[in-house]
Amino acid sequence: MSVSETLRRRFACAAAALSLLAAEAAVAQVAVDPLNPTCPAEPNWSTYPEMRLSVEEIGGRPVLLAEGRIDDNLIPRLRAALESFTGDEIWVRSPGGNARVGNEAGRLIREANLQTRIPEGWACFSACNFVFMGGTARFVDRGGLFIVHMFTHTGDRDAIRSEVSRGVDSTIGLIGDIEQQSALLASEDNDFLIRMGVSRLLLTEIMYRTRAVADRSGDRSTRRCLTQDEVRRYNVVTEILSN
């Protein structure tokens, strides 16, 4: 090997090392959420009130971007977008939304044989998890966030207090409805993970141990950001790409 070739390779290695250090420093500077210490204070999961679907040319190939809240009417739009999409990869960022719609969206993505990605700087929370897990191949780039919590049918505390104030019979009926809907959704989640090849331990060890609604008298954490090791351990990703 010539001297110039040796120097060129050493320079390339040094540049790569500096780039990695800079990326790690940038991550370290992100403000941490004091109530959810595994997560940043302001995850970049988009503020669109309805999920927007658009195609962009990235790296010389078309990529479908899915950004915003998973709304009740997403499925017809997603189905139309998938029918006209000529690429093979979807990037997702979302604060969540309708859990059952998220499951159905994930199944549509699997049927379309597309891969999914959470790129650096993007965050996928709650119902978005199931959209992402629909990918035949799944990637969480370094700096991308897969954020979980337990589903809930009791997020509106004021509505619950109102129902409870109506008396014992009304409260018992409310509890029964919550139990039934929670059991159905838990069963659907479990079935979904099996079909998508994701470890069911993700539910029992992580998701179901993270509150969906803050406890005013105690634990106020409502989000859990998985590490790169965890997304690999639970088969959330099929491969980890280092940037």
- Residue 103's pLDDT band, with cuts at 50, 70 and 90, is very high
Span 38-58, average pLDDT: 97
d(C-alpha 185, C-alpha 7), whole Å = 59
pTM of the model: 0.74
Q: Which residue has the higher pLDDT, 144 or 167?
A: 144
Residue type, 240: I
* Integer CA distances (angstroms), 6 to 14, 17, 24, 120, 217, in order: 12, 17, 27, 32, 63
- Residue 159's pLDDT band, with cuts at 50, 70 and 90, is very low
Does residue 162 surpass a pLDDT of 90? Answer: no
Does residue 88 surpass a pLDDT of 70? Answer: yes
- Residue 37's pLDDT band, with cuts at 50, 70 and 90, is very high
pLDDT of residue 154: 44
Q: What share of the chain is helix, strand, coil (3-state, %, to 5)?
A: 45, 20, 35
The percent of residues in the chain predicted with pLDDT above 70, rounded, is 67
Span 118-131, average pLDDT: 97
Least confident of 73-87, 156-170, 183-197: 156-170
How open is the CA angle 202-157-182, to the nearest 5 degrees?
40
Q: What is the pLDDT of residues 3-20, one digit of tens each?
A: 455 445 555 554 444 454
CA torsion 26→58→63→119, rounded to 10°? -10
Span 101-123, average pLDDT: 97
Task: Tell me which residue of 205, 212, 204, 200 sits closest to 36, measured CA to CA.
Answer: 212
pLDDT of residue 120: 97
pLDDT of residue 229: 96
Residues in Cβ contact with 213 at an 8 Å cutoff, skipping those fewer than 6 apart: 152, 154, 155, 157, 222
- Helices marked H in 30-155: 74-84, 99-111, 128-132
Least confident of 33-42, 102-111, 203-212: 203-212
Q: What is the pLDDT of residues 182-198, one digit of tens each?
A: 556 666 888 899 999 99
Q: Which residue has the higher pLDDT, 221 or 105?
A: 105
pLDDT of residue 125: 97
